[in-house]
Amino acid sequence: MDSTREYAFDAMVIGGGIAGLQSALDLAGQGYTTAVIEKDASIGGKMIRLSKVFPTLDCASCITTPKMAAAAHHENITLFTCCDVSSIERNDGGILASVTQRPRYVDMDKCIGCRKCEYECPVLVPDAEQGGFSGRKAIRIPFSNAIPQKAILDVENCMLCGKCASVCPTGAIVYDQQPEAYRILAKTAVLATGFELSPIADKRQYGMGEIPNVIDAMQMERLLAPHGPYGRVLRPSDGMIPDSIAYVQCAGSRDASMGVSYCSRVCCMYAIKQAMLLSGSLPLADITIYYMDIRAFGKNYEQFYQNAKAMGIEFVKAKVASLDKGENGAVVVRYEDQLAEGVTTREHDLVVLSMGMLPGWNPDGVCPVGLGGDRFISSLFPKTRPSVTDMAGVFVAGVAAGPKDIVDTITEAGGAAMQAANYLTSLSASAKDAVKEESHA
Ligand SMILES: Cc1cc2nc3c(=O)[nH]c(=O)nc-3n(C[C@H](O)[C@H](O)[C@H](O)COP(=O)(O)OP(=O)(O)OC[C@H]3O[C@@H](n4cnc5c(N)ncnc54)[C@H](O)[C@@H]3O)c2cc1C
Ligand code: SF4
Ligand code: SF4
């Protein structure tokens, strides 16, 4: 017997980052029942992992957490986490998604988020949520402001010692929990699957992730975050307070050898933001940004850049040729200075790579939606209705359509929700016309 559970909604949103949450909240606010399907164990996307955000330097989680909570408590929104989408297709009823929910090995209805299991678990592994700098248990709440606040057990590292089950006050641990299959039907869909950073491991000349004090910008977000791995910025290899920190711009963008020939748009601004935050937390440190061009494209962004210069952050117009291990954990930066001319080297205690943005999801074979040459989801009308895709009733929001900052992501997500709502209105208008025609016949 087919044990697939079936659900029907007015709308479904794939991806629970800031774009997906905004689209879902806008649709639900208009009375439409909406499913949010998220692959991770928590909603919130990249934004909930950031420290502060340019250009206002607001705390990222102060903006994201209320939206996550609003979505979780909205009567018209149903969250599906830990979900993989295997197909999205059109049928007579609308858009049908086939979804598999991976087991958490924890009964969501019973777990009260008390973390007793996490405290008791003896297994400690590097915590990707903290850039790999600190440890996490095999069973844990994914991060402090995760939603839902439910535990998840990492079966690959669990040694089945039974300690978590013995302390769980509600009997929520289910070691033999199985994946669940769902068919989710909706009249319209918004794709908000965001991005992943281009991997350091692909950057041979920058050490392929093998140089200990070369990190990516998302790891620096965690070092700067209030609930970060060390509670302050320390050099990962030896816990030293860095005196000299460098940024390498366009480390994964505008580089055909990485398959990312486009500009990722946010890297200049996030590097400047992090440099400003660093000069606040480490006032004695020298901070250098090696850049090809600074692209400060948004409202008040140029002023933000000028403020960073006024704070003493050094901008060196240069193409960084290579990074190498130096003495005592230092990183040797070899670069061609485009203003002073000539190739030269300099040592820094810590180097941050401004990696580019790659699409967070490859819909090939899953959803017949058109992609651009950059592999992000294409818009049918980029100038007039940027969220409309070439699949009727399916819209796109946020970085799923191409690199962009939070301001543009939220604006576009509101636009996608509006287009989806218009589409739902047009469906009910044509249904009414059909009824009228039938009654006249
Ligand atoms: C280091 C760094 C710092 C930044 N700092 C700033 C800043 O200060 N200010 C600013 O304006 N912008 C900043 N940005 C950009 C900002 O992070 C993005 O604009 C924003 O997060 C985009 O949101 P999104 O919802 O489109 O994508 P994401 O945040 O990537 O969310 C996408 C969601 O979809 C989920 N998903 C992906 N595929 C699937 C699938 N197949 N099925 C189900 N779910 C799926 C993901 O798990 C994720 O939860 C920064 C970016 C980086 C890398
Ligand atoms: S699984 Fe049990 S012990 Fe762990 S957080 Fe949930 S209720 Fe608490
Ligand atoms: S059974 Fe696994 S998850 Fe539970 S406490 Fe033991 S090692 Fe940790």
Q: What is the CATH number of domain 198-357?
A: 3.50.50.60
Query: If you measure from the C-alpha of residue 200 to the centroid of ligand 3, how many angstroms do you get, rounded to a whole number?
Result: 32
Q: What is the pTM of this model?
A: 0.95
Say if ligand 1 is within 6 A of residue 19 CB. Answer: yes
Number of neighbouring beta carbons within 10 Å of residue 225: 20
The sheet with strand 343-348 has its strands ordered as: 214-216, 350-353, 244-248, 286-291, 314-325, 331-337, 343-348
Look at ligand 2, atom 7, and give the residue with the nearest C-alpha.
Answer: 111
Mutate to test the pocket of ligand 3, among 104, 116, 118, 121 (most ligand atoms within 8 A of CB): 121
Say if ligand 3 is within 6 A of residue 124 CB. Answer: no
Say if ligand 1 is within 6 A of residue 129 CB. Answer: no
51 phi, psi to nearest 5 deg:
-85, -85
In the three-class reduction of DSSP (H, G, I as helix; E, B as strand; rest coil), residue 42 is classed as coil
Query: If you measure from the C-alpha of residue 142 to the centroid of ligand 2, how many angstroms do you get, rounded to a whole number?
Result: 12
Let me know how many helices (H) and strands (E) the chain has, helices first: 8, 22
Query: If you measure from the C-alpha of residue 118 to the centroid of ligand 1, how many angstroms do you get, rounded to a whole number?
Result: 27
Say if ligand 3 is within 6 A of residue 161 CB. Answer: yes
Say if ligand 3 is within 6 A of residue 138 CB. Answer: yes
Look at ligand 3, atom 5, and give the residue with the nearest C-alpha.
Answer: 121
198-357 matches 1-102+179-194+360-441 in CATH topology:
yes
Say if ligand 1 is within 6 A of residue 410 CB. Answer: no
The full set of domain ranges for the chain reads: 1-102+179-194+360-441, 105-171, 198-357
Number of neighbouring beta carbons within 10 Å of residue 217: 22
Say if ligand 1 is within 6 A of residue 15 CB. Answer: yes
Residue 144: exposed, middle, or buried by beta-carbon count in 10 A (0-12, 13-18, 19+)? exposed
Q: What is the DSSP letter of 379?
A: P
pLDDT tens sequence for the chain (441 residues)? 578 999 999 999 999 999 999 999 999 999 999 999 999 999 999 999 999 999 999 999 999 999 999 999 999 999 999 999 999 999 888 999 999 999 999 999 999 999 999 999 999 999 999 999 999 999 999 999 999 999 999 999 999 999 999 999 999 999 999 999 999 999 999 999 999 998 888 888 898 888 999 999 999 999 999 999 999 999 999 999 999 999 999 887 888 777 788 888 899 999 999 999 999 999 999 999 999 988 888 899 999 999 999 999 999 999 899 999 999 999 999 999 888 878 999 999 999 999 989 999 999 999 999 999 899 999 999 999 999 999 999 999 999 999 999 999 999 999 999 999 999 999 988 777 777 777 666
Mutate to test the pocket of ligand 2, among 108, 140, 173 (most ligand atoms within 8 A of CB): 173
Question: Under CATH, domain 1-102+179-194+360-441 is a member of which superfamily?
Answer: FAD/NAD(P)-binding domain (3.50.50.60)
Strand extents, DSSP E, 236-295: 244-248, 286-291
Look at ligand 1, atom 42, and give the residue with the nearest C-alpha.
Answer: 39
Cα separation, 322 vs 99, in Å, equals 43
What atom in ligand 2 is closest to the CA of residue 110? 7
Cα separation, 364 vs 361, in Å, equals 9
In the three-class reduction of DSSP (H, G, I as helix; E, B as strand; rest coil), residue 88 is classed as strand
Cα separation, 300 vs 302, in Å, equals 6
For domain 105-171, say whether CATH 3.40.190 is its number: no
Look at ligand 1, atom 5, and give the residue with the nearest C-alpha.
Answer: 270
Query: If you measure from the C-alpha of residue 175 to the centroid of ligand 3, how many angstroms do you get, rounded to a whole number?
Result: 10
